[in-house]
Amino acid sequence: MSVSADTNATESSRLFGLLVEFEDPNDLVSACRRVRDAGFEKWDAHTPFPIHGMDDAMGIRGTRLPLLILASGMTGLLLALLMQWWMNAVDYPLVISGKPLFGLPANIPVTFELTVLFSALATFFGMWGLNGMPRLYHPVFKSQRFRRATSDRFFIVIETTDPLFDSDRTREFVNSLGGTAVEDLKE
Amino acid sequence: MKTVAVETLDAAAAGRAPDDNTLNDPTQHTPLVLGDNDFTSLTDKVCGIVEKPRPPKAWYVAFAASTALTGVLFLMIGYLILTGVGVWGVNNPVGWGWAIVNFVFWVGIGHAGTLISAILFLLRQKWRTSINRFAEAMTIFAVICAGIFPAIHVGRIWVVHWLFPIPNYQAMWPNFRSPLLWDVFAVGTYMLVSLMFWYTGMIPDLATLRDRAVTKLRHSIYGFFALGWRGSHRHWHRYEKAYLILAGLATPLVLSVHSVVSFDFATSQLPGWHTTIFPPYFVAGAIFSGFAMVGTLLLPARKWFGLKEIVTLYHLENMNKIILVTGSMVGYAYATEFFIAWYSGNTTEAFTFVNRAFGPYAWAYWIMVTCNVVSPQLFWFKKLRTNTTVMMFVYILVNIGMWFERFVITVTSLSRDFLPGSWGYYSPTIVDILTFAGSFGLFFTLFLLFIRYLPMVAMAEVKTVIPIAHIEGEHRPVGDYHGDIPHTHVDNDAGVHQKGDKR
């Protein structure tokens, strides 16, 4: 495999990181293991679809998202019960066929729906929030090559802000990862 | 071993058509994408549909016809609001006419989309990936059509916000013990959750369209909706978790929605409505009708847009099997209703069912039975369930039959209840008919816009199920949107290990 390093001649802006391209997801997974074992922290892999084994290959820990969803779902459940009780039994008591003003069975459907709704909203927006989305600008978008990250190419980016980053040694390391191309990313 | 597998999978060698992957041999993986497709060609094919400067001619014809019908819908709604519900055929004793029939019909259709996207996902049915985007879009558009009918049925549409628990000048709140109010919450939640699920699934594909955009406008619009997605694996990790949880939430939700719709009928005391079989029976019917509608839309779409390698005969055959199962469940429910009406010893109940089959609406009842119970039985035969002409024929019949099911349930019970003195015969007016036809216009208009401007196949998901040319070692490192099993790692050459194992 030939590795071509496009080091840009005009060093006008600061370096954001080094981008390595792979054509085969298998190569990417092996490379990620090496980056992880080298001890880098400020780095990422970009793929057109989720790849199994990557969480471990990258050393990603579990997300807090499920806890957030549980909390939100419980809030929805309590709010639904509180709303129905207050509106139909307290604020404007509504007598229907002489039935109790607040009875759990009749209030279950709305409670269920609001629990699901609150959980789903937390899932949807929680995923955005934890992923820092929407973020319409990112240095990787400057790379013409990176446009294939959402189609058929696989990438690793090691950022300069990583404490282990050293412009010469990291470049050497990146070249040894077995990618098909290496590119500098500008801030 | 390997050569044997290759030989039997090769359709031509086994005397089958080259695009036939319906062998259904459980010892082999069925190819879910046919042809010589890789990541690149899949992206090109799916994005190509949206990126073409002009859609096929058939699209223009269909779009002109459906926008014209949408116009009719809004004209009829305008006429209804300006004049009053008297323009419809509803009167005493039948106060729920076509509007409610249409509402239940459209909500039911939506259910297939959620079944495909959420329930089949949890059951790890990988074939769903080719059709789920399409089916979810259908869900959303069907629920939009459904929502229109109860809203315009309230009579005084300018106070329709009284349905929601928001303060109004009467200082009154909605009655939370009414199934009609449960419907507001069930259908409203269903609409929002379906929309979020659909959009979440689409984010990576919108990013693909953004990255391939050639004009600045396309880049900005797709870029805005892609939310800056860049395929980061740290993002994929949370994304897969979110997708799985949304599927887990949508599954009980979809079952609850048609159950609540059935409560509108079942909690009343009218003979023929007051039965406990309604929730499961309605849910089975909803999935049945929805699959027929997915098929009705999918057959022309895969032909017009050259998607036969992605939406294969195997996908269609699987859908037909679900139609056969749910159709038979619906038939079984019809039989059970009759049995219980007789076994209960309740004369009014028994009369209602004899009246359904042999009374003034017998024509509607037998259309329903022929379309819903008899026609899907064709799918017992493999030759018929893998023939696209037969499929289309059955899909259309099922669509008709399921509309008639709701008509039979709603109208026969209301038109002849306990007191013969208050019996009547309900007929729709031309406004009823044009409003319903118009709702199809809206449905197809939204659908045609969807296939023109959004990726109709979930590319990122399909890429996880295509056979990859060079796999090193036993295990494919490619995911299926279920996320990794915690504390395991996958080795290309040695399979899956527990964390403590020696590497």
Instruction: Select the residue of B233, B479, B486 nearest A58 (Cβ to Cβ).
Output: B233
Return the residue of A nearest to B237 by Cα: A55
Contact B479 A50 (CB under 8 A): yes
Contacts with B303 (C-beta within 8 Å, 6 or more apart), sequence order? none
Return the residue of A nearest to B488 by Cα: A56
Picking from B236, B263, B462 by the largest number of A CB atoms within 10 A of its own CB, the best residue to mutate is B236
Residue B227 lies in a domain: yes
Return the residue of A nearest to B206 by Cα: A150
Q: pLDDT tens, B99-108?
A: 999 999 999 9
Instruction: Select the residue of B174, B176, B199 nearest A107 (Cβ to Cβ).
Output: B176
Query: Quick one: which of B340, B324, B264 has its CA closest to B96?
Result: B264
Using pLDDT thresholds of 50, 70 and 90, give the confidence band for residue B3: very low
- Model pLDDT, residue B339: 93
Using pLDDT thresholds of 50, 70 and 90, give the confidence band for residue B372: very high
Using pLDDT thresholds of 50, 70 and 90, give the confidence band for residue B496: very low
Question: Residue B431 corresponds to which tokens in the numbers above?
Answer: 């406004």
Contact A30 B193 (CB under 8 A): no
Return the residue of A nearest to B258 by Cα: A109
Identify the top-confidence range among A45-59, A168-182, B349-363: B349-363
Distance between CA atoms of B329 and B119, rounded to whole angstroms? Answer: 18
Identify the weakest region by mean pLDDT among A1-15, B52-66, B197-211, B334-348. A1-15
Picking from B233, B246, B253, B472 by the largest number of A CB atoms within 10 A of its own CB, the best residue to mutate is B233
Q: Measured between beta carbons, which residues in chain B are less than 8 angstroms from residue A47?
A: 231, 233, 236
Distance between CA atoms of B143 and B106, rounded to whole angstroms? Answer: 6
Return the residue of A nearest to B224 by Cα: A136
Residue B418 lies in a domain: no
**How many beta-carbon pairs under 8 angstroms link A with B?**
235
* DSSP, res B31: P
Instruction: Select the residue of A65, A110, A136 nearest B242 (Cβ to Cβ).
Output: A65
Using pLDDT thresholds of 50, 70 and 90, give the confidence band for residue B483: low
Question: Is the model's pLDDT at B192 over the cut of 70?
Answer: yes
Instruction: Select the residue of B237, B256, B472 nearest A113 (Cβ to Cβ).
Output: B256
| Cβ–Cβ under 8 Å, residues A121 and A72 | yes
- Find residue B495's DSSP bridge partners: B491
Three-state SS across B304-317?
HCCCCCCCCHHHHH
Contact B204 A150 (CB under 8 A): yes
Question: Residue A134 corresponds to which tokens in the numbers above?
Answer: 């929407």
Question: Is the model's pLDDT at B493 over the cut of 70?
Answer: no
Picking from A110, A140, A144 by the largest number of B CB atoms within 10 A of its own CB, the best residue to mutate is A110
Q: Measured between beta carbons, which residues in chain A are less than 8 angstroms from residue B182?
A: 109-110, 113
- Model pLDDT, residue B356: 92
| Cβ–Cβ under 8 Å, residues B183 and B260 | yes
| Cβ–Cβ under 8 Å, residues B228 and A138 | yes
Q: pLDDT tens, B428-438?
A: 999 999 999 99
Query: Quick one: which of B101, B204, B185 has its CA closest to B432?
Result: B101
Using pLDDT thresholds of 50, 70 and 90, give the confidence band for residue B503: very low
The complex's ipTM? 0.89
Residue B470 lies in a domain: yes
- Model pLDDT, residue B484: 52
Contact A120 B249 (CB under 8 A): yes
- Model pLDDT, residue B408: 94
- Model pLDDT, residue B181: 92
Q: pLDDT tens, B103-157?
A: 999 999 988 888 888 888 888 888 888 888 989 999 999 999 999 999 999 888 8
Return the residue of B nearest to A47 by Cα: B231
Instruction: Select the residue of A60, A113, A131 nearest B185 (Cβ to Cβ).
Output: A113
- Model pLDDT, residue B397: 95
Q: What CA–CA distances, in Å, run from B20 to B46, B273, B304, B360?
A: 21, 45, 19, 47
Contact B230 A58 (CB under 8 A): no
Q: Measured between beta carbons, which residues in chain B are less than 8 angstroms from residue A48?
A: 39, 43, 204, 208, 231, 459-460, 463
Instruction: Select the residue of A24, A94, A133 nearest B175 (Cβ to Cβ).
Output: A94
Q: pLDDT tens, B231-289?
A: 898 899 999 899 999 999 999 999 999 999 999 999 988 988 998 999 999 999 999 99
Q: Measured between beta carbons, which residues in chain A are less than 8 angstroms from residue B232?
A: 44-46, 131
Q: pLDDT tens, B302-344?
A: 888 888 888 888 889 999 999 999 999 999 999 999 999 999 9
Contact A49 B38 (CB under 8 A): no
Using the structure block, give the residue that is written with the tokens 């699209």.
B59
Q: Measured between beta carbons, which residues in chain A are less than 8 angstroms from residue B171?
A: 92
Q: pLDDT tens, B374-418?
A: 999 999 999 999 888 999 999 999 999 999 999 999 999 999 988
Using pLDDT thresholds of 50, 70 and 90, give the confidence band for residue B19: low
Question: Is the model's pLDDT at B185 over the cut of 90?
Answer: yes
Which backbone phi and psi does B176 adopt, to 5 degrees? -75, -5
- Model pLDDT, residue B390: 93
Question: Is the model's pLDDT at A75 over the cut of 60?
Answer: yes
Calculate mean pLDDT across residues A96-113.
90
Return the residue of B nearest to A70 by Cα: B245
Contact B481 A50 (CB under 8 A): yes
Closest Cα in chain B, distance from residue A132 (Å): 9
Instruction: Select the residue of B188, B208, B478 nearest A51 (Cβ to Cβ).
Output: B478
Contact B228 A135 (CB under 8 A): yes
Helix (H, G, I), strand (E, B) or coil at A186: strand
Query: What is the layout of strands, in order, in the sheet containing A15-22?
Result: A4-6, A181-186, A15-22, A154-159, A43-46
Q: Measured between beta carbons, which residues in chain A are less than 8 angstroms from residue B189?
A: 113-114, 116-117, 120
Could you tell me where the DSSP H helices lie in B344-474? 347-358, 362-369, 382-385, 388-407, 413-415, 430-453, 459-463
Instruction: Select the residue of A26, A119, A137 nearest B477 (Cβ to Cβ).
Output: A26
Identify the weakest region by mean pLDDT among B179-193, B292-306, B396-410. B292-306
Return the residue of A nearest to B474 by Cα: A26
Q: Measured between beta carbons, which residues in chain A are less than 8 angstroms from residue B483?
A: 50, 55
More confident residue, B483 or B347: B347
Average pLDDT, chain B: 85
- Model pLDDT, residue A180: 85
Contact B464 A25 (CB under 8 A): no
Using pLDDT thresholds of 50, 70 and 90, give the confidence band for residue A12: low
Q: pLDDT tens, A120-178?
A: 999 999 999 999 888 888 888 888 888 888 888 899 998 888 888 888 888 888 888 88
Question: Is the model's pLDDT at A7 over the cut of 50?
Answer: no
Q: What CA–CA distances, in Å, run from B164 to A102, B104, B146, B152?
A: 19, 20, 17, 15
Q: Measured between beta carbons, which residues in chain B are less than 8 angstroms from residue A41?
A: none
Contact A65 B233 (CB under 8 A): no
- Model pLDDT, residue B463: 83
Calculate mean pLDDT across residues B474-500.
46
Residue B141 lies in a domain: yes
Structural domain harbouring B114 = 31-275+284-319+426-481
Return the residue of A nearest to B469 by Cα: A24
- Model pLDDT, residue B265: 92
| Cβ–Cβ under 8 Å, residues B18 and B11 | yes
Written as one string, the DSSP assignment of B441-484 is HHHHHHHHHHHHHS-SS-HHHHHTTSPPS---SSS--B--SS-P
Closest Cα in chain B, distance from residue A11 (Å): 25
Overall domain count for chain B: 1
- Model pLDDT, residue B16: 58
